[in-house]
Amino acid sequence: MNRLALLFVLTLITGLSSLAQSDATQPQPAPATVSVCELTRNPQTYNGQRISVHAGVSMAFENFSIYNETCNEKGPGVWLTFGGDQDEVTAFCCAGPRKKGIDLDVEGHRIQLIRDDSLREFLRVLQTQRLRRPDGRGCASDECYFYRPVSATLVGMFFAGREGDMPGYGHLGCCHLLVISQVSDVAAERTSVPAGGEFQCSKKTWNADRYSSARLHQFLPCANYSPECDRNYESAFALIADHWRDSIDVARGHSDENARIEDSTGSWISADLLTGYQVVDRKSTTPRVSVTRQVCTQSAGSAPRPAPYPIACDQYSLGWEDDEADAPAIHDLMQRDKFEEAWAKIAESSSRTILTDGDETWRLGDSKGVAMYALHAQAQKWNVISDKTLQIDSCDDVSLDKQKNHLMDCGAYAPDGMQVFEVGLMRPKSPASAEGSARETPWIVTSIHATVCH
């Protein structure tokens, strides 16, 4: 090759290399700005496009979506998930586990996530909640969150599902999908849910006369979510509040999902979770109801944090799935329905990796004592100061009759609703002829999970 030809080839290679570098570093085109209403009205128009949408964000059990209350669209909504390897923020069917270190891939598009202060604030206000109600019961739906409503500007890639009522993304395929790559303009309002503080709750019952019973029966039964139904519901509980001379805002409260029992005609709880009513039908030939009123008042010396204080919750987790050497083999055994072999391997892995230092005679105690020891010991390893008043909520045997192992799930919580722990335990079942030897068999801790708010 002569010098002139060689010079031409080198120039061509250099030019192509520069062009490739230029293309790789060029910024992506600006996303299309679209409203929630337009997105749900014409989803196919934006399919596969990067978009920017400012919207209200709903997050609760089996729900992570955007909304705009002014939209009149009746079709499927828009489900949210994060790009990158960010874990899902709510439980829903049917989401598989995210792979750590690998960006989410949807329809052949690998989508990254910008991790900055706006994302961290977005996750904080979405997820931070009182972990137990003031009366000690668990929270239902989204009643315990400290920040609602939440809104933000979300940039990401939009995927329109198939036409019809169930497009295919999100919980049971309910929705279209927006994969978030960047968050900004986060705004949230502090709810009236008390942050911390301990409360004492008391109950009283009103057996309504025939006239009041008839009025409540007229208002409460509702088979739809029409405005008239909502007005009747509010009228019923305004009538009940008036009987007790309670000064409450009925419209800001909501149905008490935690109080549903047989023969319940309706229930209501205040936004601060401190006052609630439950209406129950009394067995009679004529309409008669009784109303149970629960009121929680602050215990002396244990006040909630003032509303302006920012609140955050941290999650901690340790379990057999963290053992990178054994976890793949255990998952494989479970997928092949070889559960006994899987649990044997879990026992081997857990006994080797979870709380294995020092004197381990504590493993010979009863399940509640073992769970409390384990959660306090692991809390120290996480540098978490566990509440001294933590109490075990329950220790439930979740093993099947035919299984060779006792599997226990123990839950503990702080009375101020700011800490919860869950501990998984396992030990072999003793033969019926040797029940006395059960106490000589040590418990194995298979998992410890904690949520600590501060």
Query: For residues 352 and 327, what is the distance between their CA atoms, to the nearest angstrom?
Result: 13
Q: 28 Cβ partners below 8 Å, 6+ apart?
A: 50
Per the CB < 8 A criterion, the answer to whether 417 and 349 are in contact is: no
List residues bridging with 318 in a β-sheet: 448
Q: Record the pTM.
A: 0.83
Residue 3, pLDDT score: 44
The tokens describing 377, both together, are 């010991």
Alpha helices, H only, 271-410: 327-335, 339-353, 367-381
Q: Is 80 exposed, middle or buried (0-12, 13-18, 19+ CB in 10 A)?
A: buried
CA 101 to chain CA centroid, nearest Å: 23
Residue 22, pLDDT score: 40
Per the CB < 8 A criterion, the answer to whether 448 and 421 are in contact is: yes
Residue 4, pLDDT score: 40
Query: For residues 161 and 166, what is the distance between their CA atoms, to the nearest angstrom?
Result: 8
Query: For residues 75 and 166, what is the distance between their CA atoms, to the nearest angstrom?
Result: 9
pLDDT in tens, the chain (454 residues): 444 444 343 344 444 444 344 443 456 789 999 999 999 999 999 999 999 999 999 999 899 999 998 887 778 999 999 999 999 999 888 877 787 889 999 999 999 999 999 999 999 999 999 999 999 998 888 899 999 999 999 999 999 998 888 999 999 999 999 999 999 999 999 999 999 999 999 999 999 998 988 888 888 766 556 777 778 888 889 999 999 999 989 889 988 877 655 566 788 999 999 999 998 887 767 778 899 999 999 998 889 998 888 999 999 999 988 888 888 888 888 888 888 888 888 888 888 889 988 888 999 999 999 999 999 999 999 999 999 899 888 899 998 888 888 899 999 999 999 999 999 999 888 765 444 445 578 999 999 999 999 9
List residues bridging with 54 in a β-sheet: 153
Angle at 307 between CA 301 and CA 309, to 5 degrees: 95
Query: For residues 374 and 355, what is the distance between their CA atoms, to the nearest angstrom?
Result: 7
Q: Is 124 exposed, middle or buried (0-12, 13-18, 19+ CB in 10 A)?
A: middle
The tokens describing 271, both together, are 């936004």
Per the CB < 8 A criterion, the answer to whether 180 and 155 are in contact is: yes
Task: Give the single-character DSSP code of 92.
Answer: -
Task: Give the single-character DSSP code of 442.
Answer: P
* Nearest residue to 189 via CA among 91, 56, 64: 56
Query: For residues 369 and 206, what is the distance between their CA atoms, to the nearest angstrom?
Result: 41
Query: For residues 32 and 49, what is the distance between their CA atoms, to the nearest angstrom?
Result: 8
Residue 311, pLDDT score: 93
Q: Torsion over CA of 211, 293, 143 and 175, rounded to 10 degrees?
A: -30
Q: 9 Cβ partners below 8 Å, 6+ apart?
A: 1
Task: Give the single-character DSSP code of 254.
Answer: B
Q: 175 Cβ partners below 8 Å, 6+ apart?
A: 65, 76, 77, 78, 79, 161, 167, 169
* Nearest residue to 30 via CA among 51, 48, 44: 51
